[in-house]
Homo-oligomer: A and B are copies of this chain.
Amino acid sequence: MNPLDLEEFKRQGYMMIDFLTDYYKNIENYPVLSTVEPGYLTKRLPSSAPFQPESIESILEDVQQHIIPGLTHWMNPNFYAYFPCTGSTAGFIGEMLSTGFNVVGFNWLSSPAATELETIVMDWLGKMLNLPKSFIFSSCDKGGGGVLLGTTCEAILCTLVAARDKKLAQIGKENIGKLVVYCSDQTHSALQKATQIVGIHPQNFRVIKAKGSNLYSLSSDPLLSAILLDVENGLVPCFLCATIGTTATNAIDPIKLLCNVTKEFDIWVHVDAAYAGPVCICPEFRHYIDGIEEVNSFSFNAHKWFLTNLACCCLWVKDHNALTSSLSTYPEYLRNKKSDSKKVVDYKDWQVPLSRKFNALKLWIVLRSYGVENLKNFLRNHVELAKTFEELVRKDERFEIVVPSKFSLVCFRISPSAISTINDGEGYYNGKMMNDEYLVNDVNCKLLDSINSSGKTYMTHGEVEGAFFIRCAIGSTLTEEHHVTMTWKLVQEHASSLLGTLLNSYINKNN
């Protein structure tokens, strides 16, 4: 066996390119949301690994027969669930190159190009976002710079550990039970998970309600009240996670106002712009991160809405020493003169794992293959498509927009008024006593199930202040205007059918 026979490598490599080209070509023929049932694959595959080698041909046949039916097709242009995970030729090619080199760039020495290209690309991106100099390696000698991690979860975990240890250095490690973390009820669950992991007491995870009247953004007043109360109770405010583009509704936390509050208490502020970050390279959106010079760290996912195949999270910090003093280890077997000199970046100390791929290649090739201008237009196009979809929703009076769309997420639902026509006034529905809110939520939930079961689209839901709504997150690489308009027609058809059925059952019940 030669596991890297070059003729075979070439043959199989070409074959895989052909396979994926066919996959993309046919992608609209597959149901967007997989229709398999739990346990489907165990029934189809052997229960142990083969003793003898199998051919790539038979493996790919199995992929076609057994794996593809079990995929939910994130690359399908009619995928509008969660947030998009955009892929591109450049992102794919970059991942191939990094996988092929298979270098492990944990410190500078283990592959200098991996570290150096990462610092360069993070500076490129930082400049595209017009980040303050304090975050840019080449413009700052105070420890600012960027790093590529896998996900926002890791970015939040790493910065939270840094913030925790900074505080504990002041108040003593035995006081970990006093540290408090702040966020809104719209903040991503990544923060809750990170708080659990780093050992901060769950009682000190402070979730502040974001109100609809404020478009679900975190207000500085309740934050200040919460902080003051904690301080009064002898607790120590430590970390705030602000979000630009929350998951449910794309709410935007006001960075400047929040920093005005946190400054006095020396709270580490992290800005999570996982999805909406990239669009801030367009001047007309840059104001959403105004005040970023006040925060300690900032991150977004290039794999979400920036054409860089999974996984790629960009994190910038103002003071990398805070990160590295929490995350560095320097065992004998990794000692080397370059690291000893402290004149090189050793990214192992900026992240959780030791090992790391040469991830910068992927992002570098994306930036160069498309160029800044095209990337801006790519993002703007999705924002335009979201506007188109939002206008279509507004034109149909049975529907309502839950929160006006700012980026490329549209939050909508069948409006209570459209449903009230099928409410019998006594709150009965499906034989159960209902209040109106339950009824409205239930109908919208049924609508979502109905459109997703069609196989022609996949959307997910959100909930604010008890109201269930449907999220149409536009941004998949292949999505064009006709997909969006066809999808809206589909929603309308399913709504008509659903509302009609309900009306019929109401009429039947009352006759």
Contacts and interface: CB of A to CB of B under 8 A. Distances in A.
B128 A102 contact: no
Contact of A310 (B104, B127, B154, B478): B104
A151 B354 contact: yes
A49 B478 contact: no
Interface centre among A92, A188, A196, A353, by most chain B C-beta atoms within 10 angstroms, is A353
A108 interface: yes
A67 B371 contact: no
Contacts of A36: 112-113
Interface in A448-483: 460-463, 471, 477-478
Interface in A94-119: 95-97, 99-104, 108-114, 116-117, 119
A378 B53 CA distance: 13
A331 interface: yes
B59 A368 contact: yes
Interface in A323-370: 326-327, 329-335, 338, 343-344, 352-357, 361, 365, 367-370
A303 to B, nearest CB: 8
B95 A95 contact: yes
A401 interface: no
Given A193-B327, A354-B151, A99 B95 contact: yes
Interface string A71-90: 11111000001100111111
Interface string A3-46: 11110111011101111110111000000011010111110010
A428 interface: no
Given A99-B96, A174-B201, A161 B104 contact: no
| Interface residue tally on A, bucketed by range | 35 or more
B52 A189 contact: no
Contacts of A247: 331, 333
A63 to B, nearest CB: 7
Contacts of A352: 153-154, 157, 193, 197, 352
Nearest to A194: B352
A12 B89 contact: yes
16 contacts: A1-B377, A4-B477, A10-B18, A16-B97, A51-B373, A52-B374, A67-B117, A71-B111, A71-B114, A81-B110, A95-B96, A153-B353, A173-B201, A176-B176, A189-B329, A198-B199
Given A50-B368, A50-B372, 20 more contacts: A1-B378, A3-B477, A4-B75, A41-B117, A48-B124, A67-B117, A70-B114, A71-B101, A72-B112, A74-B101, A87-B100, A87-B102, A95-B95, A95-B99, A104-B310, A153-B355, A189-B329, A193-B327, A197-B327, A332-B463
